[in-house]
């Protein structure tokens, strides 16, 4: 665990998040990862098995978007095992996070994480996002591995506030997806994920109706 603690601490420093992600939050990220590993043996929540790989590919990758999330509420679509939603909930107590996934075992796992880590700013929904209704719209909707940009926007439009923002986490710059979506992003942010030798981008769209 000490090696993982050091790896996470160095990653937080490299992301410039030392004043945001305190020692307690880092411990909670590691506790989440520990739960993910334990449940993964039975429920197969992620193909990533190695703890160091899990920390780099899942935790640090999720932490890379934290500076670009605003206070308010956030919906994480197709959250799977809780990425990036649970990491955001841990490190941004000023954000009310809702995660949604169609797979029941993944929703059960996320609810267990909420209970064990005491994440009062996290709500977990089991269901299809296109059928989901909320009493008040979200100011931000994020996805990490959900769908192409055009479909992501189409399925979640009814849930996003006017002037709210879609945040699409992508690998290499998705030029073809952007062309098919037929909209111009408000921002294209190149993410630098520590210890990860791969391109990562955050594509931001505004809901201007």
Q: Is 36 annotated as a binding residue?
A: no
Q: Which of 41, 63, 66, 64 is nearest to 51 (CA)?
A: 41
134 SS3 class: coil
Is residue 129 a known part of a binding site? Answer: yes
66 is in an annotated binding site: no
Cβ atoms 145, 174 nearer than 8 A: no
User: 183 among the known binding-site residues?
Assistant: no
- Would you state the structure tokens that stand for residue 18, as one six-digit string? 């030392």
Tell me the helix, strand and coil percentages in the chain, rounded to 5: 45, 20, 35
199: annotated binding-site residue? no
Instruction: Count the neighbouring beta carbons within 10 Å of the beta carbon of residue 125.
Output: 17
Other Cβ atoms closer than 10 A to 24: 9
Could you list the beta-strand ranges (E) of 33-94. 72-77
Centroid of chain to Cα 5: 21
- Binding site for S-adenosyl-L-methionine, by residue number, is 78, 83, 129-130, 144
- Binding site, by residue number, is 78, 83, 129-130, 144
């Amino acid at each position: 665990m000490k090696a993982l603690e050091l790896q996470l601490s160095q990653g937080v420093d490299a992301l410039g998040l030392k004043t945001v992600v305190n020692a307690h939050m880092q411990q909670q990220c590691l506790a989440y990862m520990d739960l993910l590993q334990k449940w993964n043996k039975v429920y197969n929540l992620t193909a990533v098995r190695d703890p160091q790989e899990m920390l780099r590919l899942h935790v640090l990758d999720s932490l890379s978007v934290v500076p670009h999330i605003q206070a308010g509420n956030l919906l994480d679509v197709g959250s799977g095992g809780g990425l990036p939603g649970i990491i955001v909930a841990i490190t941004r107590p000023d954000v009310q996070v809702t995660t949604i996934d169609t797979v029941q075992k993944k929703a059960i796992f996320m609810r267990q994480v909420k209970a064990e880590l005491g994440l009062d700013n996290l709500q977990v929904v089991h269901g299809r996002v296109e059928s989901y209704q909320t009493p008040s719209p979200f100011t931000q909707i994020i996805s990490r591995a959900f769908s192409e940009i055009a479909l992501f926007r189409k399925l979640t439009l009814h849930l996003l506030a006017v002037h709210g923002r879609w945040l699409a986490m992508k690998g290499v710059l998705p030029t073809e997806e952007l062309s098919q979506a037929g909209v111009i992003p408000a921002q294209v942010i190149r993410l630098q994920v520590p210890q990860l030798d791969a391109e990562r981008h955050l594509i931001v769209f505004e809901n201007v109706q």
